[in-house]
Structure 1
């Protein structure tokens, strides 16, 4: 019983540098193209497009939500925010790499705004659960917004504060979402890219709180 409890506690705490798995020097092999759009997964991306990164628990359902949005050019799933270089899916799931499962979103700001992406992020998962998302427990499933540039960072903070007020009014807990400048993104293995397009009846744990997110004017990152 002590062993099981100890393992669970490790999954709920981010590992320190000396505790993390060693990883490897070379990236894990992945797909070259998006399974749905057939666009290059790693780029080069067309000029004028922007990049966003979100963690909403299991990345399979969250990626599908984003690739279905008008104005999103390509998506990819991967790992970010941890210590271990070039981790595998199995390693990340142990909680001993420190990474969250995240979605890289490449979008056209002339068609869809960063504010629109933030609204979808907040409304389609529960950002109050700490190191879990529903039945998925562990640091891997924490809520994250990793930002590219100060405009995105300020927009993310403003949207968090606004949605936090809405959640509080609805009697919900405080937001635990990690908001930080984007760290290195490690592409997940090919099997996990666009997983629900390949497995339409596969596992999807995406579920919001039912509380609408009224985005503040200050949350725009297009200025």
Structure 2
């Protein structure tokens, strides 16, 4: 998303928990960086005060996959952590960015296909994604005329899936390539393209855009 916006001429600020040195993350060399921990509202507020006026906010962060626990775990710490990091973190970012957004600005959230296609063992993820999409629609009204939308990716081949064994990831890629109408796995650039569209189209708000290669048209892949 950052690269797509930068290629379109935007000045991009990447906000994350840790400032990465160019030697660690050469992909961030072209972007300003600001420290922001979505679980800490004071950190979120300080980050947007430092950034100042902006045109568009894109919130992508979430706790690592595999950290939320199961529905019947001994306690609810996993789901609480996931909700705190994804839903309340997205809420906090929007809340503290909104006063700094210029006229014509936008907010874009990121969820995932499990918002509408639940899978066994992912109850916390499904519930949290659905909550973020509900927040997006509510804010499209609450913050109007600021535009608020959500991108709902399908299988995007990134290190986010690193919690799965290598053979499982390879099998998942193969199933996607064989069954999805797009006949390939998703790439980060596909999401960047969608984000750029939502940032630049002045008549799109309150919308969830699914970028999933036609996943909704085939049986569940897991």
Query: What TM-score do the two structures reach when normalised by structure 1?
Result: 0.30
Structure with higher helix content? 2
